[in-house]
DNA sequence: CAACGGACCTGCCTGC
DNA sequence: TGCAGGCAGGTCCGTT
């Protein structure tokens, strides 16, 4: 997926076309996403006026006069604004149609994404209540990471990717932040000093901020709200670079598997 | 409570 | 050319 920078880039791209507009129809071509689309979704969205498009972690939140819709893009999802007449391609599963004949179209080949109705207080929805702080908020810092990691034996990379610890850091940016912070991805989270966590927290912020500035990372099929790919890929230092020289020491980047996920790191620079 | 594996899906690439 | 197998940006849930 779309990790946080891609979701944020998407949010910024689609918000101007949605806010202030009214939903007049919903077309669901494939209801079987991660969770089946609620049969009542059309009733809930019909004639709703979109007030704001927000983001929490990797969730997009469409706030309307009727309540909020959570949109998660899973591993392969994207949304864009198109004319409602534009012919639907394969995997274009849902159109949220506006009064001006444009629509928000969800495209998701792997169907790990979801559309979930969250009512009038989305922050109390179970998918959002347990999320950790936003990584770009002041509440996320080295002291926070240090405190919540005490006693945890899990590898720091998995810890960073745990949305209950911090919301929105996925595989790419966990790898990148650990490289810049020179921390080995397998190190136990509870065995990292406060000063190293101070550094790591700022590395996470730097990597995410820069990726947002570049419009996100496109590996295969990510496109933003206008259908354009992101540009951050060229700046990735370790992700997807197994065997290539480390930018710091020039020794080869290694790849291993942690759980089901690929981990990239420099065994010489990261400890 | 923490850690881990499985589940949900399709498409692309590699190697036989 | 065809097919099997591995792999991919996420994260919830059930079991240890």
- Mean residue pLDDT of chain A comes to 90
Q: Would the Cβ of A233 be found within 7 angstroms of any atom in strand B?
A: no
Averaged pLDDT, A65-77 = 94
Exposure of A11 in the CB half-sphere (CA atoms within 13 A): 23
Residues 111-130 in A having a C-beta less than 7 A from any atom of strand B are 111-112
pLDDT at A225: 66
At A191, is the pLDDT very low, low, confident or very high (cuts 50, 70, 90)?
A: very high
> CA-based Rg of chain A, rounded to a whole angstrom?
20
Q: Cα(A45)–Cα(A271) distance, rounded to whole angstroms? A: 51
Phi-psi region of A74 (alpha: psi -120 to 50; beta: other; left: phi over 0): left
pLDDT at A257: 82
pLDDT at A35: 87
Is pLDDT at A193 greater than 70 in this prediction? yes
Question: Would you tell me the crossing angle of helices A194-213 and A4-18 to the nearest 10 degrees?
Answer: 40
Gap from A130 CA to C15 C1', Å: 21
Q: Cα(A117)–Cα(A41) distance, rounded to whole angstroms? A: 7
Is pLDDT at A224 greater than 80 in this prediction? no
At A105, is the pLDDT very low, low, confident or very high (cuts 50, 70, 90)?
A: very high
Strand arrangement of the beta sheet that strand A92-98 belongs to:
A23-28, A92-98, A102-107, A78-83
Q: Are A180 and A206 within 8 A, CB to CB?
A: yes
CA A148 to chain centre: 22
Q: Residues A226-255: pLDDT tens digits?
A: 667 776 665 889 998 888 899 999 999 998
Kindly report the length of chain A: 271
Chain C footprint positions (protein CB, under 7 Å): 7-13
Chain B footprint positions (protein CB, under 7 Å): 2-12
Q: Would the Cβ of A34 be found within 7 angstroms of any atom in strand B?
A: yes
Active site residues of A: 2-3, 58, 261
CB contact burial A201-211 (16+ within 10 A = b; e otherwise): bebbbebbeeb
Is pLDDT at A194 greater than 90 in this prediction? yes
Q: Residues A156-168: pLDDT tens digits?
A: 999 999 999 999 9
């Amino acid at each position: 997926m779309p990790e946080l920078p891609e979701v944020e880039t998407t949010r910024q791209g689609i918000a101007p076309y949605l806010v202030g507009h009214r939903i007049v129809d919903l077309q669901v071509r494939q209801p079987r996403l991660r969770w089946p689309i609620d049969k009542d979704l059309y009733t809930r969205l019909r004639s709703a006026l979109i007030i704001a498009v927000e983001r929490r972690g990797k969730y997009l939140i469409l706030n309307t006069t009727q309540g909020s819709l959570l949109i998660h893009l899973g591993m392969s999802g994207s949304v864009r604004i198109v004319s409602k007449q534009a012919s639907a391609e394969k995997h274009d599963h849902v159109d949220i149609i506006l009064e001006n004949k444009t629509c928000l179209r969800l495209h998701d080949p792997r169907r790990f994404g979801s559309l979930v109705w969250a009512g009038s207080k989305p922050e109390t929805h179970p998918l959002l209540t347990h999320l950790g702080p936003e990584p770009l908020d002041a509440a996320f810092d080295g002291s926070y990471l240090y405190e919540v990691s005490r006693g945890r034996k899990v590898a720091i990379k998995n810890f960073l990717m745990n949305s209950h610890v911090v919301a929105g850091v996925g595989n790419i940016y966990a790898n990148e932040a650990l490289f810049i912070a020179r921390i080995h991805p397998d190190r136990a989270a509870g065995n990292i000093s406060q000063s190293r966590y101070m550094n790591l927290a700022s590395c996470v912020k730097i990597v995410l901020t820069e990726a947002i500035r570049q419009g996100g990372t496109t590996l295969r099929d990510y496109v933003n709200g206008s259908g354009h790919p992101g540009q951050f890929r060229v700046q990735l230092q370790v992700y997807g670079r197994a065997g290539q020289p480390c930018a710091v020491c020039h020794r080869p980047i290694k790849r291993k598997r942690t759980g089901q996920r690929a981990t990239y790191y420099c065994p010489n620079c990261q400890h």
